Amino acid sequence: MRQRAAPRLTVNGTRRLSAEFVALMTGRAGWVAKTDGLSRVAQLHLLGNAAVPWQATHAHGLLPFDDSPFPCIAQVGDVW
């Protein structure tokens, strides 16, 4: 765990969401928000897309594969 202050939720003086805060909450602090040449909107877009694989991996781990009541779900080791 890091011992530093979290970035502000919004951009100073506005009600706009801060890309630095979103990066921290998605576990990608410093990956996108410190990139020169990207607008705040572009940074938020990239951070939103980066969260999808992380969430999908977690959700996949929650699925019941043994004696699954959902026969359409592929089993681990199945070849597609």
Q: How far apart are CA 73 and CA 50, in angstroms?
A: 24
Neighbours of 19 (CB within 10 A): 24
Q: What is the mean pLDDT of residues 45-65?
A: 77
pLDDT tens sequence across 6-45: 888 899 899 999 988 888 887 777 777 777 888 989 988 8
Mean pLDDT score of the chain, rounded to an integer?
Answer: 76
Res 54 pLDDT > 70: yes
Per DSSP, 24 falls in state H
Domain ranges of the chain: 1-54
Q: How far apart are CA 4 and CA 64, in angstroms?
A: 39
What is the reported pLDDT for 68? 55
CA distance between the termini of the chain: 39
